[in-house]
A = this chain, B = another copy of it.
Amino acid sequence: MDADIENLNAIFYPKSVAIIGASREKGKIGNNIVENLLNGGFNGRIYPINLSGEKVLGIRAYKNIKDVPEEVDLAVIAVPAKITPQVMEECVSKGVYGAIIVSAGFSEIGLEGKKLEEEVLKVARKGGLRIIGPNCQGIINMSANLFAWFGAIPKIKGSVAFITQSGALGGGLISWANEENIGLFNIVVSLGNKCDVDESDLLQYFANEDTIKCLTIYMESVKNGRKFLETARKVSQVKPIVALKAGRSPVGAKAAASHTGAIATSDQIFDSALKQFGVVRAKSIEEMVVYSIALSAGPYARGKNIAIITNAGGPGVIAADECYELGLNLNPFSPATNAKLKELLPSHSSIGNPIDITGDPSPERFKVALEAVLGDDDVDGVVVIVIGPLKGGEEVGKIIYDAKKIYKKPIVVCWLSGEYAGEAPRKLQTEGIPVFKTPEGAVHAMYSLVRYGLYLKVRTEK
């Protein structure tokens, strides 16, 4: 393990955390972070640091990090920008490994702030201390019960590491997942101005993190394009990377520049490089989320021949259109598969691809169709569309779950009419089967599994 990654370990798995600028006042950032650390069940030591030295949320505070009687691995800094260099000096004296600077007022505000940021970085380099931020929202690592973050925190653990240049987007998606009752993220890092730790460092570090199945990046600029692409190339051989790069249009790039102070990268060059290196690029927040859900669930497809099973014609047609649009094949099935389907499904079913098992089917029909197509060597993945009202939703869920376990091919589900579905769709999602509310969502999910699966396959077979 190189020195860089060792320090990142102290940031993501600290034994002790100091919050410099910890506040007793509810609603303040320096209060919310202590609160999140406490509520999240962090079982290392927590040291609030503030000028008064008065307890914060019942925890003993210190006036200066240097007064803390034990070692401090990680410092979260929420003090005004202009005193941050001084605070950093103190962290260095204390032997802190990493700092998360949430304070704003650095390079994003112009020249004066840029100077401060450079000063802060100089101090850190001197002390061998790594920085996340400044101007960020913090980090979350659910495997360490670490919520060094202000704002909403995830209720359910997922297996995505989300590296985001927009802290607000991180917070927004955490809230969204909470509302939907799904586990999406395990790790969230708000990069802020990324004066030190950048997307490439984190990609490399999270590549070895067992809890993480998918690395998802939202970026407006790349700090070091060559380093990023080289890292992405290496990492995507081990784990899927999903990237949403905003600022792809002239107006967007201008907005991005005024947001982060960073100069945007030429979109076209970046795009083709990402493709070449196996990164699955999302063009919208929704695509980013869909791809992340699918790729963290797996397995990846070994080809692009897809089967659609539906109990409603219309949504099947919509899914077929979307497959075509994304270059997924809906081939006819083998004669053997067709014979099986004809034998076992009622005569009014439509046996093509999509297979329409028609409205109000018995769960058994889903089973028959799933087993027939999954057993067909020329089918690489299945999109199942379930539209209620439907008797036996729970049973349909179980059939899908069992089929995936036996056949080890990707299955994604569109379950519309959640009202009637009871807990079945949510249960499936928890069990690692991606479930979406539209046929398009399910097909996009399958697309990412095909995209990345084919990338891995080509690389393996080379």
The residues of B that contact A175 with a CB separation of less than 8 Å are 388, 416-420
Contact present for B251 and A324 (CB under 8 Å): yes
Q: List residues of A (300-319) whose CB comes within 8 Å of B's CBs.
A: 311-318
Contact of A152 among B249, B321, B348, B419 (CB under 8 A): B419
Q: Which listed segment binds B: A62-70, A272-280, A349-357, A451-459?
A: A349-357
Q: List residues of A (368-414) whose CB comes within 8 Å of B's CBs.
A: 387-389, 391
A→B interface (CB under 8 Å): 27, 104-105, 109, 150-152, 164-169, 171-173, 175-176, 178-179, 218, 220, 244, 246-252, 254-256, 258-260, 284-286, 311-318, 320-325, 330, 348, 350, 352-354, 356, 359, 387-389, 391, 416-420, 437-440
Contact present for A258 and B352 (CB under 8 Å): yes
How far does the alpha carbon of A56 sit from the alpha carbon of B87 in the complex, in Å? Answer: 78
Identical chains in the assembly: 2
The residues of B that contact A359 with a CB separation of less than 8 Å are 167-168
Contact present for B172 and A286 (CB under 8 Å): no
Closest 8 CB pairs of A and B: A166-B314, A259-B313, A168-B312, A172-B416, A249-B324, A252-B321, A175-B419, A252-B320
Contact present for A323 and B251 (CB under 8 Å): yes
A314-B169, A316-B259, A387-B172 known; A321 vs B416 contact (CB < 8 Å): no
Contact present for B356 and A259 (CB under 8 Å): yes
Sample of 18 A–B contacts (CB below 8 Å): A150-B389, A151-B388, A152-B417, A152-B420, A165-B314, A168-B359, A172-B312, A176-B417, A246-B321, A249-B323, A252-B318, A252-B321, A256-B317, A259-B313, A260-B313, A284-B440, A285-B440, A286-B440
Contact present for A166 and B258 (CB under 8 Å): no
**A32: nearest chain-B partner, CB-CB:** B389
Contact present for B259 and A314 (CB under 8 Å): yes
The residues of B that contact A150 with a CB separation of less than 8 Å are 389
Contact of A317 among B105, B220, B312 (CB under 8 A): B220
**A285: nearest chain-B partner, CB-CB:** B438
A175-B420, A416-B172 known; A248 vs B166 contact (CB < 8 Å): no
**A178: nearest chain-B partner, CB-CB:** B419
Contact of A389 among B151, B169, B317, B418 (CB under 8 A): B151
The residues of B that contact A354 with a CB separation of less than 8 Å are 255
**A323: nearest chain-B partner, CB-CB:** B251
Contact of A418 among B176, B220, B330 (CB under 8 A): B176
Contact of A438 among B250, B252, B284 (CB under 8 A): B284
**A356: nearest chain-B partner, CB-CB:** B259
The residues of B that contact A168 with a CB separation of less than 8 Å are 311-315, 359, 387, 416
Contact of A321 among B167, B172, B249, B318 (CB under 8 A): B249
How far does the alpha carbon of A417 sit from the alpha carbon of B312 in the complex, in Å? Answer: 33
Contact present for B249 and A325 (CB under 8 Å): yes
The residues of B that contact A311 with a CB separation of less than 8 Å are 168
A320-B249, A321-B248, A352-B254 known; A172 vs B315 contact (CB < 8 Å): yes
Min CB distance A68 to B, Å, is 29
Contact present for B259 and A317 (CB under 8 Å): yes
The residues of B that contact A314 with a CB separation of less than 8 Å are 164-166, 168-169, 218, 220, 246, 259
**A27: nearest chain-B partner, CB-CB:** B391
Contact present for A179 and B246 (CB under 8 Å): no
The residues of B that contact A105 with a CB separation of less than 8 Å are 348
A175-B418, A314-B259 known; A389 vs B152 contact (CB < 8 Å): yes
Contact present for A316 and B416 (CB under 8 Å): no
**A444: nearest chain-B partner, CB-CB:** B284
Contact present for B258 and A350 (CB under 8 Å): yes
Min CB distance A330 to B, Å, is 5
The residues of B that contact A440 with a CB separation of less than 8 Å are 284-286
Known: A171-B389, A255-B316, A255-B317. 19 other contacts (CB 8 A): A109-B348, A150-B389, A151-B389, A166-B315, A168-B359, A168-B416, A171-B387, A172-B417, A175-B416, A220-B317, A246-B314, A246-B317, A252-B324, A254-B352, A255-B356, A284-B322, A284-B440, A285-B318, A285-B438
**A387: nearest chain-B partner, CB-CB:** B168
How far does the alpha carbon of A173 sit from the alpha carbon of B171 in the complex, in Å? Answer: 28
